[in-house]
Amino acid sequence: MTGTDPGTSSEEGALARRLAAIVRADPDLMRLLAAARSLALPQWRLVAGCLYQTVWNSLTGRPRGHGIRDYDLIYFDPDLSWEGEDAVLRRAAPVLAGCPGPVEIRNQARVHLWFETRFGSPYPPLPSADAALARYAAVVHAVGVRLDPDDRLDIAAPFGLADLFGLVLRPNPAIPNAATYALKAERVRALWPEIAVLPWPGADDTAVKCAGDTATVSNGLSPGPSPFSTTR
């Protein structure tokens, strides 16, 4: 949904305004958002790590860019061919060359084709780019921003923004994704020790090991997320 959701609480609206202000105050993010907008990718958003980490840096007094390893840009194109996605990557490279990076660009319509091979769990096809947000490993990861043609920031957060501003890492147990969550929790504890890290349900997250970081996606629809999207 674009525009202020009439069902959104006044508290969520206030948090959305705070998020928009933090994003606008970061010249790297705004430069990247403007460049991404110029690509005109369908349903595009800048998502996850670079956003919640930017907020956490702002709230904890750390420098801009602290802990940010890459920038995740998603879009949704029903063309499921690798050639189609590769053409987008090639077209985007010169446009994003002056932006912070690396920028990871993924067509969310194709994720189900490769996710299980790479991460070991089935991944149902997505109906839209925004639907991917509800499949991320943690609630706080589920945030995306798009810069509209009129320069307003369109914010999508299917679980709201309370965990983001409450400095909480909470699992999204929609799929068996404990390994990814444990890896991210370990990194969060090292970089932002103020963050409250909640354990994966039924798992000892300190004992779970994972070979690599799945920075952009988790798997499975979350049970009963409350859709939230607004423009600021």
93, 61 contact by CB (below 8 A):
no
Kindly state the average pLDDT of the residues 74-101.
Answer: 94
- Order of strands across the sheet that contains 45-47: 103-107, 71-75, 45-47, 144-147, 153-156, 229-231
pLDDT for res 231: 55
The yes-or-no verdict on residue 214 having pLDDT over 60 is: no
pLDDT for res 123: 87
Contacts of 155 (CB under 8 A, 6+ apart): 16, 19, 20, 143, 144, 145, 228, 229, 230, 231, 232
C-beta neighbour count of 215 within 10 angstroms: 18
Residues 122-142 pLDDT 10s:
889 999 999 999 999 999 999
Burial environment of residue 212 by CB neighbours within 10 A (0 to 12, 13 to 18, 19 or more): exposed
The yes-or-no verdict on residue 38 having pLDDT over 70 is: yes
Question: Model pTM?
Answer: 0.83
Instruction: Give residue 9's pLDDT band: very low, low, confident or very high (50, 70, 90).
Output: low
More confidently predicted of 167 and 3:
167
Contacts of 60 (CB under 8 A, 6+ apart): 167, 192, 194
pLDDT for res 119: 79
Kindly state the average pLDDT of the residues 182-195.
Answer: 94
230, 5 contact by CB (below 8 A):
yes
The yes-or-no verdict on residue 158 having pLDDT over 70 is: yes
